[in-house]
């Protein structure tokens, strides 16, 4: 998977901090879906600077599609899995329906917290690798 990014600073050890504009899931026709994802969101990642880019350069970064899709599946499916697991366990235990619902919602929130903790670990561990593969153009950024 390749994306366009802007180099913000050089970090050392061959890495650079780049800012990537998050692409919406609806393919930039956000007005049609009304989910509000059209607002530009910038994500900061560290990328291996293979192209020797400098701060201000617009670059192409590359990552393994498998890793991105796996992370997305994990983020979206894990809380739902916790939700259903909480409902099944509380139903098998013979708890009343209201208790099963409360436990399911609590399990969903626990699943979301689990995803948050794992995400922080993955970011620190640099389990998701990004590489700067080419410089597209030099631009001047006023920060």
**Tens of pLDDT along 1-17?**
788 888 999 988 889 99
Please report whether residue 60 resides in a domain: yes
Please report whether residue 75 resides in a domain: yes
Please report whether residue 143 resides in a domain: no
Q: Identify which has the larger pLDDT, 70 or 33.
A: 70
Please report whether residue 30 resides in a domain: no
Tally of domains in the chain: 1
- The pLDDT assigned to 45 comes to 83
Q: Identify which has the larger pLDDT, 43 or 31.
A: 43
pTM of the shown model: 0.53
Q: What is the mean pLDDT of residues 76-105?
A: 94
Domain span holding position 109: 2-25+35-138
Residue with tokens 């293979």: 50
Number of alpha helices (DSSP H) and beta strands (DSSP E) in the chain: 3, 5
């Amino acid at each position: 998977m390749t994306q366009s990014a802007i180099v913000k600073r050089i970090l050392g050890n061959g890495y650079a901090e780049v800012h990537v504009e998050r692409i919406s899931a609806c393919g930039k026709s956000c007005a049609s879906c009304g989910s509000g994802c059209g607002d530009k969101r910038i994500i900061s990642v560290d990328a291996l600077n293979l192209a020797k880019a400098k701060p201000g350069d617009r670059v192409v970064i590359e990552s393994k599609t498998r890793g991105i899709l796996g992370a997305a599946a994990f983020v979206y499916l894990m809380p739902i899995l916790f939700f259903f697991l909480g409902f099944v366990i509380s139903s098998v235990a013979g708890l009343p329906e209201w208790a099963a619902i409360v436990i399911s919602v609590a399990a969903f929130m626990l699943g979301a917290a689990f995803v948050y903790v794992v995400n922080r670990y993955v970011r620190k561990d640099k389990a998701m690798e990004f590489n700067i593969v080419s410089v597209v153009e030099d631009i001047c950024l006023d920060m």
